[in-house]
A and B are shown apart, each in its own frame.
Chain A
């Protein structure tokens, strides 16, 4: 599986934007970029995914670099409920194993 690199932790203030980076320099052309988050004492939940173009949904935006070697999850206005561990993972759409492999993620702290 292609690997991703994320900072161990980040801090933000409430109601400010948060940019969570992810490096995936070995990404292949058919890998989808997925983001999940895990709130305290819960299982991970899906946030957003993309292939080449930037994506928006009700939870967040995903900005993908033109060379696709990095991406950024954007929370437009952080709330205390956004405090979680955020995982960036790659999923290959061209055959092979469909294992879903997570790294250690980024722990986001939101300060009031």
Chain B
């Protein structure tokens, strides 16, 4: 039973393209997160959304924007893709206000920018 779904497992885009990474969760979670993962650097938070149309910057927001128009969907946007944005991107969701509950992750999207 899939709970967090990322629209693509693999993507190849050209430098300068506008790229949309989509994430959908079916658990009615308020919180949603976007991370990127690179070898040796662990998981780094790009953006966090705690409600529809609400967002907070994470540790590495530069070059990215996000959209949360509906509770279940959180989109990561690369306005003009660059080769240094080649990475694994992971989406997650969690309930709000309950720090004793778990977060659920998608399977990841491996993006290559050429």
- Chain A residues within 8 Å of B, Cβ to Cβ: 31-32, 34, 36, 41-46, 49, 51, 87, 91-93, 97-105
Partner of A102, one of B31, B43, B96, B102: B43
Partner of A43, one of B100, B102, B107: B107
Residue pair A49, B102 in contact (C-beta under 8 Å): yes
A43-B92, A93-B100, A104-B40 known; A98-B59 Cβ under 8 A: no
Chain A residues closer than 8 Å to B50, beta-carbon distance = 98
Q: Chain B's nearest CB lies how many Å from the CB of A92?
A: 6
24 CB < 8 A contacts A-B: A31-B99, A41-B108, A42-B107, A43-B90, A43-B105, A43-B106, A45-B105, A46-B102, A49-B102, A87-B42, A87-B43, A92-B99, A93-B98, A98-B96, A99-B33, A99-B48, A99-B58, A100-B33, A100-B48, A100-B94, A101-B58, A102-B43, A102-B44, A102-B45
A91 to B99, CA, bound (A): 6
A42-B108, A44-B43, A45-B105 known; A101-B59 Cβ under 8 A: yes
- Chain B residues within 8 Å of A, Cβ to Cβ: 4, 31, 33, 35, 40-45, 48, 50, 56, 58-59, 90, 92, 94, 96-100, 102-108
Q: Chain B's nearest CB lies how many Å from the CB of A108?
A: 15
Residue pair B94, A98 in contact (C-beta under 8 Å): yes
Residue pair B42, A103 in contact (C-beta under 8 Å): yes
Q: Is the interface of A mostly helix, strand, loop or mixed?
A: loop
Give 5 new A-B contacts, CB below 8 A, not counting A46-B103, A104-B41: A44-B90, A92-B99, A98-B97, A100-B103, A102-B35
Residue pair B59, A100 in contact (C-beta under 8 Å): no
Q: Chain A's nearest CB lies how many Å from the CB of B104?
A: 8
A32-B99, A98-B99, A100-B103 known; A43-B42 Cβ under 8 A: no
